[in-house]
Amino acid sequence: MAKDERARGAGERGAARPGRAERGRRGERRGAAPGAPRAAAAASQPECDELPSEEEERRAQLPPLTALGKAVPTEPWTPPPYEVLPGVTLPAPIAAKVERIDRGYARRTREHLVITSGTRDANRQARAMFTKLRLGDDLLKLYRNKAAVQEITKAYRASSGKPPEQVVAAMEAVIQDQIDRGIYVSAHLRRGAVDVRNRTMSPKEKRAFLESASEVGGVLVIEETTPAHYHLQID
């Protein structure tokens, strides 16, 4: 009798103890805070492209922007606390919202954001795509809208043998025509597009960023993976 009772007691204690898988699931449920901000899912193929570096533009034998009459305004200004990579420009209303996001992020992490790309005009996009083509990149693998890419590469090939700035001008004309028709080969041709580096962010810092962005109205955050970054669409 005593042995049977001990066996039943042991069985009841064993049944009351959850298995490892169940404990893991409970842990996951506890770890996922309700209402936690999340980035929107990225498209299966990104339309977010990085600008080539100044070194890559030199290798492509592309004159600097000032040589093409596209010099950046030089009026006095106060640099933002966040870092902006060379060649990246943000319209004032967009920069103001980015600064608010950065303040929230710095308050939570004591770090500042790195802005890797902003809104581009047709000329800046043409320069980027010209450089990629000159350096051997396959644009059909980089951009989702294949038809738009083919129109631009057709202009590139048709201008073969001309000076780089004339090739860029031909590509720019095609890109501007696409924009006028509501076609954007890159997300950065839309007003309010901003890329934020996240490959160096810890999970805690990523959460801090999403919380900071959610505090600022009119900001859609998309987490892109190729290359890894947050793409912001700011109204």
Q: What DSSP assignment string belongs to the chain?
A: -HHHHHHHHHHHHHHHSPPHHHHHHHHHHHHS-TT---PBPPPSS----PPPPHHHHHHTTPPPGGGGT-PPP-S--PPPSSEE-TT----HHHHHHHHHHHHHHHHHHS---EEEE----HHHHHHHHHHHHHTT--HHHH-S-HHHHHHHHHHHHHTTTS-HHHHHHHHHHHHHHHHHTT--SSGGGSTTEEEEE-TT--HHHHHHHHHHHHHSSSEEEEEEETTEEEEEEE-
Model confidence, pTM: 0.63
> What pLDDT, on the 0 to 100 scale, is given for residue 30?
44
Q: Are 146 and 229 in contact (CB under 8 A)?
A: no
28-81 per-position pLDDT tens digit? 444 445 566 777 655 544 567 777 777 777 787 777 765 444 444 445 556 789
175-205 per-position pLDDT tens digit? 999 999 999 999 899 889 999 999 999 999 9
> What pLDDT, on the 0 to 100 scale, is given for residue 231?
92
Q: What's the average model confidence in pLDDT over 100-126? A: 95
What is the rounded average pLDDT for all residues in the chain?
A: 81
Q: Are 120 and 114 in contact (CB under 8 A)?
A: no
Tell me: pLDDT of 128 over 50.
yes
204-227 per-position pLDDT tens digit? 999 999 999 999 989 999 998 877
Tell me: pLDDT of 170 over 90.
yes
Domain chopping of the chain, boundaries: 54-234
Q: What's the average model confidence in pLDDT over 123-130? A: 93
10-28 per-position pLDDT tens digit? 444 444 444 444 444 444 4
**How many C-beta neighbours within 10 Å does residue 201 have?**
20
Return the higher-pLDDT residue of 5 and 162: 162
CA-angle at 42, arms to 37 and 43, nearest 5°? 150
Return the higher-pLDDT residue of 132 and 68: 132
Q: Which of 41-45, 94-98, 155-159, 211-215 has the lowest mean pLDDT?
A: 41-45
Return the higher-pLDDT residue of 56 and 143: 143
**Between β-strands 219-225 and 83-84, what pairing exists: parallel, antiparallel or unpaired?**
unpaired
Q: How far is the CA of 214 from the CAs of 30, 31, 98, 110, 195, in angstroms?
A: 22, 20, 12, 18, 16
Q: Which of 199, 193, 200 has its CA nearest to residue 221?
A: 193
> What pLDDT, on the 0 to 100 scale, is given for residue 114?
96
Q: What φ, ψ does residue 182 adopt, rounded to 5°?
A: 80, 20
